[in-house]
Amino acid sequence: MMKKTSICIIAILIIVLPENIILAGKSGTNTKTEQKLAQQILTNPDLRLVLDKAHKLLSTGLRAGTGYREVWIRDLNTFIELALDVQNQKDLRQALLLFFHFQGADGNIVDGYVPKDQARVNYKYIKSKSVSDYLAHKNTVETDQESSLIQAVHKYIKKTNDKSFLKEIVNGISVLDRTERAMRFLLDHRYNAKYGLLWGATTSDWGDVQPEHPWGVVIDEKTHYAIDIYDNAMFIIAINNFLDLAGPKHPNYKKWQDTAGNLKKSVLQHLWDPKQHKFRPHIYLKDSPFPKDFDENRIYYHGGTAIAIEADLLTPDQIKRACQDMINNKNSAGAATIGLTVYPPYPKGFFANPSMAPWSYQNGGDWTWFGGRMIQQLIRNGFVKEAYQEMIPMVERVKKNNGFYEWYTVNNTPHGSGQFRGSAGVLGKAIIMIQQWAKSHKN
């Protein structure tokens, strides 16, 4: 996932809230309950402490965490806004451009890149003639790399107003055209016409590990192809971001607008289970990798649901129900936060990768990286009380462990990278959002 080596020290932090964040409520109409909550938020020193820790961590590089040498796009997308507060804008600009240097002729986007002399993981590395000092890799079981890069570009431009970035030429093609090529790749190579949705390999929610292989990051002859909510919600967000950047005068504006609308309809038709008020884990294009008597639909996908809310796929009532379901799952599991990947986890032996045992890693591990995104969406949709309540245990464990760990067990024991920038990015952004809400509701 990501890191760099440059350190940027800035004496004064200027926090700019992204334009696409909508905070519920208006000043001047605040109830006493809202004023009380606002005071609690504004006087909580742990929020300021954790936000400061997040900025300090994000000032030190772009690698995902201490366990990763690569810069990963799915991670950079989640911390680029806070990184722009404390790093040189040119460095972030260049980091995004490097992904386009590795873009395939078919439009595909790689997962991450690494300096050539640090490429030590057993990936099938990809080379670029225009950036010979780096190597890249792509975990083909995923279908989120293209969407993640488009979202990151959108966040970068909204934060910096650097609209010239879209005109930047990479190997003869502009960034704007390359983002559209990335979207076309998904429709050309990862789209199922029967369901009108994107497909990928079977993974656990947003994860990048398939069940059939001891490592499990590359599609092979054993792969079971499936459709899930995470990939499709990410694509809907990416298309809407592209439309915002390209503007209504773009020749393909209507086409992409219709594509996003059709994807939304297909998600609600095929993936949403109205009886259980949740998303179905998978629609299999042929068959499932799991035993025939296994009821996979009882599993709740926390991360994909959070991203679906970000894509505006759920109504306020459905969001409220989803929040309560996540809280119930957290309590039933005995976990600390709503950042659970899935609940309940897939049974022992369902994944060949030993890290995917029940309650471990992407199979029931507790990730602030996605829990923090659910907090953001609760704030954005007006559920601030619930957001603050569920944010507190995430904040407390950062303080307790003096850092942002990659994931936690259900008993709140930290695991993975000790300084995971994705967690810092999403939790830091959530803190900024809730503080902004509080400032407008304090009296």
Domain of residue 407 covers 32-439
Measured over the CA atoms of residue 78, residue 79, residue 82 and residue 83, the dihedral's sign is negative
Does 134 reside within a domain?
yes
Q: Is the pLDDT of residue 4 over 50?
A: no
Does 419 reside within a domain?
yes
For 320-370, the DSSP string reads HHHHHHHHHHHHHHT-SSTTBSEESPPPTTSSSSGGGSTTBTTBT-B-HHH
Domain at 341, CATH number = 1.50.10.10
Does 27 reside within a domain?
no
Q: Which residue is listed with tokens 């760099």?
A: 4
User: What is the pLDDT, as a whole number, of residue 315?
Assistant: 98
Write out pLDDT tens, residues 358-372.
999 999 999 999 999
Q: Is the pLDDT of residue 135 over 80?
A: yes
Prior bond to 344 cis, omega within 30? Answer: yes
Residue of 16, 179, 18 lying closest to 97 (CA atoms) = 179
Q: Is the pLDDT of residue 404 over 90?
A: yes
Q: Which residue is listed with tokens 């947003």?
A: 206
Q: Give the H or E element holding residue 170.
A: strand 169-170
Answer whether 95's CB lies under 8 Å from 4's CB: yes
Strand partners for 284: 226
User: What is the pLDDT, as a whole number, of residue 262?
Assistant: 98
User: What is the pLDDT, as a whole number, of residue 13?
Assistant: 36
Q: Is the pLDDT of residue 22 over 60?
A: no
Residue of 346, 216, 227, 218 lying closest to 283 (CA atoms) = 227
Q: What is the mean pLDDT of residues 47-73?
A: 96
Does 245 reside within a domain?
yes
Question: How many whole angstroms separate alpha carbon 82 and alpha carbon 78?
Answer: 9
Question: How many whole angstroms separate alpha carbon 162 and alpha carbon 151?
Answer: 15
Q: How many structural domains is the chain composed of?
A: 1
Q: Is the pLDDT of residue 8 over 70?
A: no
Write out pLDDT tens, residues 349-398.
999 999 999 999 999 999 999 999 999 999 999 999 999 999 999 999 99
**Helix, strand, or coil here: 307?**
helix
Read off the amino acid at residue 90: K
Does 210 reside within a domain?
yes
Q: How many residues does the chain have?
A: 443
**Torsion angle in degrees (nearest 10) through CA of 387, 145, 163, 440:** 0
Q: Is the pLDDT of residue 294 over 70?
A: yes
The phi, psi pair for 415, rounded to 5°, reads: -145, 170
Q: Is the pLDDT of residue 26 over 80?
A: no
The answer to which of 27-41, 86-100, 130-144 has the lowest mean pLDDT is 27-41
For 179-204, the DSSP string reads HHHHHHHHHHHSEETTTTEE-EE--S
Write out pLDDT tens, residues 300-328.
999 999 999 999 999 999 999 999 999 99
Q: Is the pLDDT of residue 410 over 80?
A: yes
Does 9 reside within a domain?
no
Measured over the CA atoms of residue 403, residue 405, residue 408 and residue 413, the dihedral's sign is negative
State how beta strands 414-415 and 71-72 pair. unpaired
Residue 303 CA, distance from chain mean position: 8
Q: Which residue is listed with tokens 């907090």?
A: 375
pTM: 0.93
Q: What is the mean pLDDT of residues 119-146?
A: 96
pLDDT band at 20 (very low <50, low <70, confident <90, very high): very low
At 198, list the tokens: 């994107």
Q: Is the pLDDT of residue 11 over 70?
A: no
Answer whether 37's CB lies under 8 Å from 441's CB: yes
For the chain, percent of residues with pLDDT exceeding 90: 92
User: What is the pLDDT, as a whole number, of residue 241?
Assistant: 98
Q: Is the pLDDT of residue 296 over 70?
A: yes
Write out pLDDT tens, residues 222-252.
999 999 999 999 999 999 999 999 999 999 9
Does 280 reside within a domain?
yes
Does 387 reside within a domain?
yes
Q: What is the mean pLDDT of residues 417-434?
A: 97
User: What is the pLDDT, as a whole number, of residue 18?
Assistant: 43
At 78, list the tokens: 């989640």
Write out pLDDT tens, residues 150-194.
999 999 999 999 999 999 999 999 999 999 999 999 999 999 999
